[in-house]
């Protein structure tokens, strides 16, 4: 196992431990309250949860967020996730493909996913810090190795700064991202890893050609805490704990980015606990809603627990539509909020 693979496996173990979440920062959805509709004039079973995103129609507005790249158990986990995505008609983002690009060790990030899930929206994933070492041809390899419909570039400067030997050279990356967006034939999605994206940064990203943004806000897994659990340097561990609750809450990030960019394809993730949170994320501007940690915990035990998780998740969203008189997601986005964030 390479050192990079070992670190990726440590990340998964930290997430599964349940001890790497934000403590005092919530995603902010508890402050969002829908106006209840006592006469919905709807059949619950007829509510349409489908959505279009980057040229593909999804039966449900869900994204399995990137989380399982570059370690030994990823192939098994990714196969389970792909099976669920195909069955449900939802999107799947793979974990970082850096190990596959650098060492040719795929750990589930190969064409197996397309064989399992031929019809889904499938997204590749490479870190922004790697824009310095990889050219567009390398990014195209990341797309081709899984048959991806888009490529996610993840932003994780704080996480890198809290890693031993992390990459803290982030100057000039926006220009490199702009070049990638112009040259890559598939859409580029940019996401944070759990600290949120501000409206100011979102506008800069769109100006350089990014097709969609995943705000990936604070309130769920804290990658500061994850790195703290892996740190062998006591000072680095102390710094990581200091920043456990850093970031823009997901609800705040969604509201601000949507206000600044009304037409941007937008993903809401970070601290999405259940279907009601998903409904609130949609109301605040998300076209898709992503989960990572809860799905990982379910997928570890196989397809049945994962499908049970999604059934409850979907029902929570469907009930929110029903209780607000919303026949579809477009109607849900227009529902009055009692206490807007």
Q: What is the pLDDT of residues 93-110, one digit of tens each?
A: 999 898 889 877 666 678
Q: Which of 23-27, 135-139, 180-184, 203-207 has the least mean pLDDT? A: 23-27
CB-CB neighbours of 123 under 10 Å = 28
* Whether residue 193 has pLDDT greater than 80: yes
> To which H or E segment does residue 235 belong?
helix 234-242
Confidence band of 180 (pLDDT split at 50, 70, 90):
very high
More confident residue, 13 or 28: 28
Q: Grade residue 60 by pLDDT with cuts at 50, 70 and 90.
A: very high
Read off the pLDDT of each residue in 78-91 and give the average, rounded to a whole number: 96
Task: Give the confidence band of 17 by pLDDT, cuts at 50, 70, 90.
Answer: low
- How sure is the predictor about 223, in pLDDT bands with cuts at 50, 70 and 90? confident
* Distance in angstroms (rounded) separating the CA atoms of residues 310 and 317: 11
Residue 128 per-residue DSSP state:
G
Distance CA 106, CA 25 (A): 35
Provide the 10 A C-beta neighbour count for residue 288.
26
Using the predicted structure, report yes or no on whether residue 15 has a pLDDT greater than 70.
no
Locus of tokens 């989960």: 291
pLDDT of 68 higher than 80? no
The predicted structure's pLDDT at residue 26: 94
Q: Give the C-alpha distances (Å, rounded to integers) separating 134 from 44, 88, 110, 190, 282.
A: 49, 34, 19, 16, 34
pLDDT on residue 212:
98
Do the bridges between strand 266-269 and strand 56-58 make them parallel or antiparallel, or are there none, so unpaired? unpaired
pLDDT of residue 257: 98
Residue 213's region, left for phi above 0, alpha for psi from -120 to 50, else beta, is: beta
* Residues 3-332, CATH architecture: Alpha-Beta Barrel (3.20)
Query: With 90 as the cut, is the pLDDT of residue 205 above it?
Result: yes
Residue 341 pLDDT class (50, 70, 90 cuts): low
Task: Determine what percent of the chain is predicted with pLDDT higher than 70.
Answer: 90
pLDDT band at 84 (very low <50, low <70, confident <90, very high): very high
On the question of pLDDT at 81 being above 90, the answer is: yes
Which pLDDT does position 71 carry in this prediction? 58
273 pLDDT band, cuts 50/70/90, is very high
Is residue 70 pLDDT above 90, yes or no?
no
Q: Tell me: pLDDT of 13 over 80.
A: no
Q: Where is average pLDDT lowest: 97-106, 156-165, 173-182, 264-273?
A: 97-106
């Amino acid at each position: 196992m390479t050192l990079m693979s070992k670190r990726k496996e440590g990340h998964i173990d930290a997430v599964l431990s349940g001890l790497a979440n934000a403590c005092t920062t919530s995603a902010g959805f508890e402050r969002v309250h829908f106006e209840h509709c006592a006469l919905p004039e709807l059949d619950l079973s007829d509510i349409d949860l489908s959505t279009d995103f980057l040229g593909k129609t999804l039966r449900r507005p869900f994204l399995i967020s990137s989380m399982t790249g570059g370690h030994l158990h990823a192939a098994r986990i990714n196969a389970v996730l792909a099976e669920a995505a195909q069955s449900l008609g939802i999107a799947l983002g793979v974990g970082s493909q850096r190990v596959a690009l650098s060492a040719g060790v795929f750990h589930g990030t190969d064409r197996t996913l397309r064989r399992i899930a031929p019809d889904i929206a499938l997204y590749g994933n490479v870190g922004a810090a790697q824009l310095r070492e990889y050219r567009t041809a390398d990014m195209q390899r990341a797309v081709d190795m899984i048959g991806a419909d888009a490529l996610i570039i993840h932003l994780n400067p704080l996480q890198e700064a809290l890693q031993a030997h992390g990459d803290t050279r982030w100057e000039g990356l926006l220009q490199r991202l702009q070049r990638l967006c112009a040259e890559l034939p598939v859409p580029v999605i940019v996401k944070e890893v759990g600290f949120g994206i501000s409206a100011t940064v979102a506008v800069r990203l769109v100006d350089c050609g990014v097709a969609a943004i995943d705000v990936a806000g604070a309130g769920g897994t804290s990658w500061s805490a994850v790195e703290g659990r892996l740190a062998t340097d006591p000072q680095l561990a102390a710094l990581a704990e200091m920043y456990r609750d850093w970031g823009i809450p997901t609800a705040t990030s969604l509201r601000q980015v949507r206000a600044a960019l009304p037409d941007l394809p937008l993903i809401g993730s970070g601290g999405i606990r259940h279907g009601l949170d998903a409904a609130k994320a949609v109301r605040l501007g998300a076209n898709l809603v992503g989960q990572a940690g809860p799905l990982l915990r379910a997928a570890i035990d196989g397809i049945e627990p994962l499908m049970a998780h999604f059934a409850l998740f979907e029902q929570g969203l469907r009930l929110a539509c029903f209780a607000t008189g919303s026949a579809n997601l477009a109607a849900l986005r227009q529902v009055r909020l009692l206490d807007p964030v």
